[in-house]
Amino acid sequence: MPSDTTSAENGRTSRTAIWIVLPTLNEGGNIEELLRGIKSELSAYRCGVCVVDGGSVDGTVEKVRRFAEMELNPQFSLVLIHQKRMHWGAQRGGAVLMGMIYGLQHSDWDLFVEMDADLAHKPHDLHKGIQAIADQGYNVAIASKYAADSRVLGRPLFRRMLSITYNSLLRTFLSHKVRDFSNGYRLYDSGAALFLCSQRIRYTSPVYLVDVLAILIAARYKVAEFPSTYEERRKGVSKITFLDYLKAGVGASEITVRHWVGATRKKRNVQ
């Protein structure tokens, strides 16, 4: 990683090149504001955004194309991968991996980012994650809902309690190194991204977030969490279904067992 990375606030251009993957499905009410926010916050960086759309029918695709025609410059590029919707429920994991692989194949990027497209994840928090990787030497940085000084706005009590319980169980049985396994606002250095895309990720639903962290932690990648603001969507409808919640519980259990079996095998081989 470049050692002289500077922030946008200092008014100097950073050598760090950042690739951001945005999985979308009917985010027409949010996507333009998000793209403008990313472009503004990362104006000092070479930045590429990859929108991986899962079959939107609300004008999301048209708005992305219009933004690409009007807002691009040598420091900012925008790629749209448009697919037909093939499955019910959220397929966020598959979309993110597709976007990361595209970025690895088409340019040299230093940092890879995944964000939700519903404005729950704030572009102004990007600088904290960039600093954790570029300046502090971490391989992965998570915008944690449970770090000190983090804020969660507008989230229903039921979802808050479900998230707290889910993450507490994962922290207890999978790894104490992470407090927020379920937040999809993450940054990866190029080595972690390349490693991740070479692995077999078993899930395309949101539980892939747990699978990814289990794999990276087992491979001894350094993971940081930084404070962030998470705000429940104001426009559009959540893509998470009851089936996704069920998959999350079953999948997290399978991932935990697999993680411990793998750790036990490694320990035996060392002995």
pLDDT tens for residues 109-130?
999 999 999 999 999 999 999 9
> Distance from CA of residue 128 to its chain's centroid?
14
Q: Cβ distance 208 to 250 under 8 Å?
A: no
Q: What is the CA radius of gyration of the chain?
A: 18
pLDDT-based confidence at residue 6 (cuts at 50, 70, 90): very low
Mean predicted confidence (pLDDT) in 139-150 = 97
- Please state, in angstroms and rounded to a whole number, the distance separating the CA atoms of residues 40 and 27: 20
Give bridge partners of residue 142 from the DSSP assignment.
186, 225
Write the DSSP string, 205-219: STTHHHHHHHHHHHT
> Which pLDDT band, with edges at 50, 70 and 90, does 100 fall under?
very high
Phi, psi angles (nearest 5°) of residue 213: -65, -40
For residue 270, pLDDT over 60 is answered with no
Please say whether the beta carbons of 19 and 113 come within 8 A.
yes
Specify the higher pLDDT residue, 207 or 123: 123
Q: What percent of the chain has pLDDT over 90?
A: 70
Instruction: Using pLDDT thresholds of 50, 70 and 90, give the confidence band for residue 249.
Output: confident
pLDDT at residue 268 in the model: 53
3-state secondary structure of 203: coil
Say if CB 182 and CB 206 are below 8 A apart.
yes
Are 183 and 142 a contacting pair, CB within 8 Å? yes
pLDDT tens for residues 68-79? Answer: 998 778 899 999
User: Which fold would CATH assign to domain 8-270?
Assistant: Spore Coat Polysaccharide Biosynthesis Protein SpsA; Chain A (3.90.550)
Q: Looking at residue 260, what is its pLDDT?
A: 79
Residue 9's pLDDT band, with cuts at 50, 70 and 90, is: very low
Q: How confident is the model at residue 189 (pLDDT cuts 50, 70, 90)?
A: very high
Mean pLDDT across the stretch 97-115? 96
Q: Is the pLDDT of residue 266 over 70?
A: no
Q: Tell me, what's the pLDDT at 239?
A: 57
